[in-house]
Every structure is written in structure tokens, then in C-alpha cells.
Structure 1
């Protein structure tokens, strides 16, 4: 199919924009006026062209009706100057019938790159003598212009086989001089925008009354209205005489069509809805707890005049600024209500352009304030147990101020009386050391920064602990007989910060960024996990046992590694069976888990340095507490 995304016709000083639906010869666009033509075609419909060894790819059909004798040519100039962008064209006529097209009288399908051209322009002109050229390298992209007579009509097919972008046609030749080669389009007068007032966001406009203003000769021309330029070009979805708009500014396209030549002309205008917004009333503070000036703000349509009253009194006026805002101060010493009854916008001459009744009101209350709930009761570590600790009382600031708006402040005091009288405030609340034995009660006062007689008080406690060991869980990545075992500490709970260690190893901190930590241990036996408070407020322990075996032993009676045995067996494995073999499978020794182990002899004779094998049969306890019978076989080294 053929698509024309933009079509621009320049008639003297006017500019008209069109968008074209798929067209073939029977739907060719009629060119009117001594004008330029621009297009961006995409797609091809019925293949109707012949000649110059090409076909339609991205094409558009144009019809010209001649009204002046002479020569007629054109320059086709692509919008995209890339020389790879290639345009072709065919000319049919004069007076061809779309249903029985013959051969074109002119065509050019020359490729500008193949022909060695310096640009990608094409067209018809006086310097060329051939009527046909192309395809590929054949030709110079221009053919001879045609001689036309008044009353003739011609079809021009423009196609873009390579590249993208639109093009412009500029008419040349003697027929295009003076009044031009084509019929003049009908008049489409520019008219003023239509404006209506609305407080709902929609308004109705009478388009039918505009026809005679757009074109005065309605006996020979038709005027129709469209929401889009594409619809105007394609005669789709013409609007009714009475049209309802819901947009603040809506562009309407008026299309004038000549009944005799079918030439068209388009003008545009805007439908403008002057919106009167409902007035919104805000107070800088509400409620208040002491007499003071309160800032009142009206917001609505820009430059609107607002009529309001205070407690049902006389009507007053205030004008909103260009941003739709007006502010004034009102002294309030008791409950007061501000009510808006009407708002309107004036024309420059002072007449009312739009107005709308209003029913908005705001009541400012006078009532006491309160301190925010759930103040923090501080509970910290007294690691050296001297009965002293440092507290940041200001952590309660935001909580204490939660029930009031801006313009209030806090202070902290030792007694309720001091807080209520606003005296003896604690001077360093962010770094306060308790002044009496725990627990100590502290009072907070919330007061207006200006009207300090507007206040409220509440209290919280300071306390400390000296023993807060962590509660934690231990997970094992493996159970038994691994070279390395990973112990993971998780689910730590308690008060404050904690760190953990295994045996005499390094301490690792657990916090929000590291909610769990892991340690790697080697060998078997029992390992002790210690958790302690970072400020010295208690520690707790858990043990983890792994069943494992030494990889070697040295029975040289030096007191070090003189015996070999399985390590890590607990009470439930006191009857485990451990058998030791030489490399030929000969049983050398059977030992018990609770014995010192094998001393490296067989019947009193020292066995030589070598690898020896063992088999152990034991009970393994799983993480869920259940037990299973297992056996394990491996080897170890005797070194002398």
C-alpha cells in the first residue's frame, strides 16, 4: 500500500499540511495553485507503472490539471541529502484513464550513485533531451520537460526504491510562470480562535456558523471540519456543526473543496476552553493553640478574582497571580471560617470573561497541642557498671513533634515542673549523662517557636543494663570427616551490638549489614562459639562438635601425637567400633573411642612408617536431632 505521511502545499504565503491514506491512480492527489509539493511516501499499492525497468516501492500518485500553455518541468529534491537515497518517477498523459493506462511519456529510474552523480536530485528540465533513462547507471537523473496545453491532465508517480525521508517538488517551465500551470485552490480564510468558559473542563462550540467566514462562496465550495490533518486530507470523520471539546486548547482543521476543480485548501484554528478551577483554601497552621496570624492561601485559575467572606461577614475580593495563588494573613484568636462564594476572570476591558459559583470553605480551629506518642525509653549498656551512661535525647525530637506542624521546638528537662514552666532546660541533650541512679525520668516540652505559651509536655525513662549476652543459633555446613568445617552464627538477638569468636580466634561483628557470620575450622573435636556484647555487657557460649581423625601421628614417645584415635565422639558414640589395618588389609588393632588410641605397634612390635587404613562404625546425629548408623573408611600416615 502507499502511504503519504506529510504533504505540504505552499500557495503564495500560506502553508497547508496534509496526511494521505494509501493511494493509487484513482486516488491521485490533485495539485492546485502555483505551488511546491512535499511528501514522505511509504509502501506501494497496486503495481500500475511501466517503463524504465522498475516498479513501485514507496510511491505516491499526483494529478495535475493544466490551465496555462507552455513547458512544464520540476526539480525533485529529497529531504535526506544522503546520495544513497534514490527517487524515481513516471509521467502519464495527456488525459490518461486510470483504468487503461498506456506507457509513460517520461520516466527516470537512474541510481545517483551508480551514475556518478554529485547529489540525489532528479526531475524534468530544459537541458535534457531524452524522454526516458535508467535503470542504474543509465542517465543523469533528469529527462526533458513536457509541452502542455490548457485543459490537459497528467499523472505523476513518484517512488523511493532506496533510503528514507520525504521530498519536495518545485515546478519549472513557462507554464509554471505567472498565475501558474494549475487551477487556483479555493479560499480558506484564517479566522480567530474560538473561546468558551467552563468550570467542568468541557465546552460546546458551534462550528457551522464559521463556514461563511472561512469561505464566502458556499454555493461553489464546501467547508468541512476535522480533528486531524490526516482526516481532513482523506475526508474521514467530518465533525458535526455542534462540537464538544474536552481539551483546554484543541486545533480544528477546516477544509474548503471546490465543487468544480476538486481543489482543496485547509486552514486551522483553535478551540480554547477558559477553565475556572474550583478554589482551594489552605492555612499555614490548623489547628492553632494560641492567638496568632495565620497565613491563608487561595489557589485556582491564574488571575482569577475570588469573592470570599469571613464568618459570614461582608464579601471581600482578592486576585490570584499568574500562578493562580493569592496569600493574606488573618489574625485568629478563636474559631473562624473562610468561605468562597464566587470566582471570575476579567477581559482586558474589565468585562467578565468567565465566572463560576464556588462552595469551598475552611474552618481554623483553636485547640491545644499534644506531644507525639511512643517516645523512646532509652536502655543502654553500662559496661563498667559505674551507674553512668551517655544518651542522645534528641532521638525523641521527631517523635515529640509528630502531632504538630512546622514552627514548633523541643527542650528537655529534669522535672515536670521545669518542663511546664520552660526553665532549666538540659543544655547538651545530644550528649547527656544521667544525673541520678537508674532509672531516671526526663521530661520533654514541645512549644511554639513564637507563641511559647502554646506548649505540651510528656516524659520518658533512661535506664541501663550490665548483663546482656546474645542469644544466637549455630549452623554447620558439614557434619563429620571433612578437612574443613564451616560454622555459621545466625538469628542473633539481644540488646545492642554483638561480636563472636571461636576459641581464641579473631572477633567478628554482627550488625544490620552483616546479620550472619561464618568461621572455618579444621579437624575434629569440640569447638566453643563465644558471643559477647561489644560494650562489655555479658557473653554467652555454645559448643559445636565434629567427628574427624588425624591425618598422621608420630609415635616417638616425645609426648606429641604419640597416639592415633578418632576425635569428636560424644556420649552417644561411646560404643563406636574403630578398626585399624595395614595396606594389605590385615587387622592390626581395634580401639575404643574413649581410649588413648593406637600407639603404632602390633603385638609389641613397632610398625614402620607407612600409610594405614581404618574403618569406623558410629552413630551420626542429624541437624533435626535424629540419629543414623554410619561407617567411614579412610587412611592416615604413621611417621617415625
Structure 2
């Protein structure tokens, strides 16, 4: 039993029927019908394939046609013409089946020619069981078979049956189509040209009896569509090509495939771990390019050396540099698994490693710290200068600190604990930094910075009230803090806090009165202060003797401003009452007479006293409401 595989294809007709050879397997583009050529079984072509079988062994011949889509609505029909008919004068088919699987109540949608069937024609619709009687064929005969799919979609498989399929098979053997190795070419552009014409004799050695053509797809090879020219340009890393061998004698075909492979050769780049260097030493040389490529390079124009890049396209080598050194890539290539070069490209990338002196980084920090106890001794974090000192050099360098230039020059007595160094002389003191190669300590540079201290650095700052008065809770915002060092702030000497990253701090106070904002250095190097006053008072009062809001007075002045003078007026300026913050307040009367509901004005005259004893005379005027 030999299988034959078919899928929807470009329409073909009897004159260009596909010749079945050997096992008959093929793939196709197929869709639609060509010229209407069939007759019999009350149907016509819809989506048809014409095939031709040439018999080379006598016996019985049949087949099972099995759709790849098992849905019963997928309906295949067929017609058989022969033996030895001419396409230009086809007669009546000798076998045909156009039975519909659903209409006939079948359990599957198979059809074909078999030994159990008795009729030679069946269909359409419910007529038949989709199988007709198989054929007795003779060596040398040829038959045309039309396979059509009037309903549904999908390809099919044919299994050949009968005695002719036994032994050497019913159909002539296809010509030889040898497997060949993949073809590889080099490219530094992403595309390459391949000579397909040179491959014909390798695919079939008898070109006098056979023809070899090349195609981009297996379907094109089956249908003889768009054969390729002998020179083919590809821009794909791997492109599969199909070679079809056709026998001039039998028209039998055979297909083999191979790949066109483009090996991309990238330009190689060179980098070094350090350049320039200031003393002879080893540096790492990094090569980057195509994965697994072999790089040929020279040092100062000397003998050619090789290094292979890894799967990531990189490789490193250590090179000792004792003078200006030129490293040049001259070529790169790729080998196959047998060690043969399959791709190479000339290169001209170079780098020059030089020897030059180093320098200490610019803008070293001069330390100016707080001497809180004024004893002349301060601890400094010298290592804050490490990264600055190393900013002009690469990796592999180190920093040390010294108390004199001579010690720094000769590497004598480095400071052991630079992260917590206490000055060793009266301030200011000069400290020397030495930057040196950790492996070649003769490669160095020195510089210096100053240590100093202060004993009094009060902050300068601004105070802004969130609102003037009238609230139970107020906020005070401290901003524009300037000075030397780190500062903290408090209201009335309690709950010290530092400003945030925006140099701002907001503190909350309860009630009215005078508040002192104090700022001080966190290490005890001076403080300063500012004052602000909130006058809180009821916006209305109801003197109806119910015990609630029966009198009016300002709030928060009882302690710090007990001597403040409060004057109450009508809106026309008539003085009604004079009282103190510590008194019971105004009861809403004037000389024993109750004043009417209305707005009344008040004036507060008070003295603001600063922490240093200074006093400032101030006043505040506003209004409130009396309700009856």
C-alpha cells in the first residue's frame, strides 16, 4: 500500500496532470478548478486535482482517499479515465463516485476504489456508499484520475491498494534526487549570492536523462511554478531551497531539499581595560564581533596571533604594556565543524595603548567642621575625598592620606584610620592625598586639601505663619535655612526637628499667643531665634446668661502678655470697654445697658518680648459679632 498526499492546489487540467511515481507523495498549492473536463456521475469540477498513473505491473488497482478534515461535511468526489486516453478527446469515465457522506448516512467521509464494491459508478447525493469496484490494469497502461472537493476544505491522503501495489509497486520509480550538504556563504551586509546551477550534477549525476530545477517552496516545485535562476540572492540567515528532478522518459519527479546559510562576519572592535597607563603593566584587551569567529591580530606589526570569540561574540586576552603599543585586527574567519574555513573577512581595526602620567581628581573637599566643645580637636571623614581623588584614573588604583607632602612622596606613615581622623596639629591643618596604581606603586600623583573648624555657626532662616489668627491650631513654616553644618529647630524649646531635603520644616502649635522658633547647630555650634504671635478670639458671642459664650475675650495672652490692653468699640469708634487678657471678658453691656446684636471692633495693644530680653510694642485690630 503506497500513500499519496494532496492539498488544495492551483487549478490543473488533464494536459498538465501530476504524474505519480514511486510512493506518489507530494505537496501542492491547489485551489479551484481548471477547464471543466469531467463527465458522468452527475457532477462537475469545483476544487480539483488531475493526476496520471503509469502502470508498470499488472493486477488489480484501487485506493482509499482519506480527507485530513474528518468532518462529514467535507466531501470528496473522483473520476477515472482510461486506459490510455488522450486529454484532447476524453470519453466516458470508467469509474466515478460523487456520493455525499451526510446524505448517504455514512460514518466517515472516506471514498475510493475497493475489492468489496460491485458498481463502477455511484452518486450523486445519497446514491452509493462512496466506494466503487476496483480496476484490472496491465503493464504499460496509463490512467487519469480527477479528485474534486465540492464541499468543505483541507487536503487529503491516498493509500494505493490492490495487487499492483505489492512488490516493486504499481508506478515507475522516480529519478534520483540526492541529498546534498547545506551551502554556506560569507556576508558582512546580511545578504549573499548562491550559485545553484553548480549543484545540479551533485543532485542527479545523469543530466542527459533528467532535468533539475530549483524552487523556493515545495508547492512551487510540485506545480512547476516560478523556477529559480541559477544565481540566487538570499537575505535570510537560513533559507530552504527545493530541487526537483524530472525524468525526460517517464516524467516522474523527485524532490530533495537543502539550506542556504549566510554566515555573518561582523567588523571586530577592540577595547582595553585601561588607556593610557602610567607605568608598565598588564591590561585586558577585549575583542568583540561575530559569535565563534576566529580573530587574527598583531601587536606592533609583529607575528600574527589568533583568538576565538565565544558564543556571545567576545574574547579577552591579557597583554603586558611597557611602551606605546598598537593592537591591530587584520582578519577574521569562521570554520565549520570539520575545521574548514567557510567565511573570512579582512579587518583593519586598531587601538593604541599609551603610557602617560596620572593626576589626582579636581575639587577635593576642604573640610570645615564644628568644634562644639571648643577644645581644638575635631574628627574628620577623609574618605569622603576617595571618589573625587580617583575620578581621573581607571580601576586598579588606590588612595592613601598623609600629614605631610614628604610622607606622601615617599609613602611613609599613611593615616591608618582616614574615615575617623582627628587633627594632629592646630587648625587649619593640610592633608596630602596620594593616588597610586595598586600593582605599580611608582605610578602615583599627590595633592592636598585643608582641615578647619568653627565654634559658632547659628543658622539664618525665615519664618512664615500659615495663617494670621482665628484658628485653634496653627502651623509655622521654617525655610531658606543657610549656614555651615546641620541644623535643627524647635518651638519654645521642645521637640527638635531637622528640615527636609527641600530645606523646609513645618511645625504645628496649639492656640494663640507668642511662640519662639529656635534654630541651632546639631553639634552645638551656635543658635538663633525668631518670634511670631497668633491672636485667637471668638468670632461671635451670645451673652444670654445660658452659660455658653456669655463673654468675649482674646485667647492665649494670659501668661506671656498678661499686661496687654484690649479696647472694644462700636463700628462708629465709640469706646465701650477696656479689659485685660486675664479678665472675665466683655459681657455685651455698656454702663449696665445691654448692647444690641451687631458687629463690634477691638484693638489689642501688647508687648512682644524676645528671648534676649528685647521688647517690641505691637498692636492688632479686628472685629467680632454680638448675637442676642
Q: Per the shorter chain, which TM-score range?
A: 0.5 to 0.7
Q: Which shows bigger deviation, 438-447 or 87-96?
A: 87-96
Give the structure-2-normalised TM-score. 0.66
Shift of 1:367: 1.9
2:498 corresponds in structure 1 to 509
Q: How does 1:164-203 map to 2 (within 5 A)?
A: 169-172=156-159, 174=161, 189-198=178-187, 202-203=191-192
Question: Compared with structure 1, are the counterparts of its residues 254 and 386 closer, same or farther at alpha carbon in structure 2 (3 Å cutoff)?
Answer: same
Question: Residues 28 and 219 of structure 2 are in contact (CA less than 8 Å); yes or no, is this contact kept in structure 1?
Answer: no
1:438 corresponds in structure 2 to 427
Shift of 1:411: 0.7
Is the aligned partner of 1:89 residue 2:79? no
Question: Residues 498 and 511 of structure 1 are in contact (CA less than 8 Å); yes or no, is this contact kept in structure 2?
Answer: no
Is the aligned partner of 1:154 residue 2:140? no
Shift of 1:342: 4.5
Is the aligned partner of 1:535 residue 2:523? yes
Q: How does 1:5-16 map to 2 (within 5 A)?
A: none
1:460 corresponds in structure 2 to 449
SS of equivalent to 2:407? helix
Is the aligned partner of 1:223 residue 2:213? yes
- The counterpart of 1:371, out of the listed 354, 360, 370, is 360
Q: How does 1:551-630 map to 2 (within 5 A)?
A: 564-565=553-554, 590=576, 598-600=585-587, 602-605=589-592, 614-615=599-600
CA RMSD of superposed structures (Å):
5.8
Question: Compared with structure 1, are the counterparts of its residues 307 and 521 closer, same or farther at alpha carbon in structure 2 (3 Å cutoff)?
Answer: closer
Question: Compared with structure 1, are the counterparts of its residues 222 and 418 closer, same or farther at alpha carbon in structure 2 (3 Å cutoff)?
Answer: same
1:549 corresponds in structure 2 to 537
Partner Cα separation in structure 2 for residue 407 and residue 399 of structure 1:
15
Unmatched runs of 5 consecutive residues or more in structure 1: 1-9, 46-59, 79-84, 97-102, 135-141, 161-166, 569-573, 581-586, 619-629
Q: How many residues align?
A: 545
Question: Residues 108 and 132 of structure 1 are in contact (CA less than 8 Å); yes or no, is this contact kept in structure 2?
Answer: no
SS of equivalent to 2:144? coil
Shift of 1:89: 0.3
2:242 corresponds in structure 1 to 254
SS of equivalent to 1:151? strand
Q: Which shows bigger deviation, 437-446 or 276-285?
A: 276-285
Partner Cα separation in structure 2 for residue 341 and residue 537 of structure 1:
68
Shift of 1:565: 3.8
2:388 corresponds in structure 1 to 399
- The counterpart of 1:308, out of the listed 291, 298, 306, is 298
Partner Cα separation in structure 2 for residue 182 and residue 525 of structure 1:
116
Partner Cα separation in structure 2 for residue 17 and residue 471 of structure 1:
93
2:437 corresponds in structure 1 to 448
Question: Compared with structure 1, are the counterparts of its residues 510 and 368 closer, same or farther at alpha carbon in structure 2 (3 Å cutoff)?
Answer: same
SS of equivalent to 1:451? coil
Question: Compared with structure 1, are the counterparts of its residues 303 and 566 closer, same or farther at alpha carbon in structure 2 (3 Å cutoff)?
Answer: closer
Question: Residues 378 and 423 of structure 2 are in contact (CA less than 8 Å); yes or no, is this contact kept in structure 1?
Answer: yes
Shift of 1:415: 0.8
Partner Cα separation in structure 2 for residue 237 and residue 605 of structure 1:
120
Unmatched runs of 5 consecutive residues or more in structure 2: 34-45, 82-95, 136-142, 558-564, 604-620
Partner Cα separation in structure 1 for residue 575 and residue 117 of structure 2:
115
Question: Residues 212 and 218 of structure 1 are in contact (CA less than 8 Å); yes or no, is this contact kept in structure 2?
Answer: no
Question: Compared with structure 1, are the counterparts of its residues 242 and 490 closer, same or farther at alpha carbon in structure 2 (3 Å cutoff)?
Answer: farther
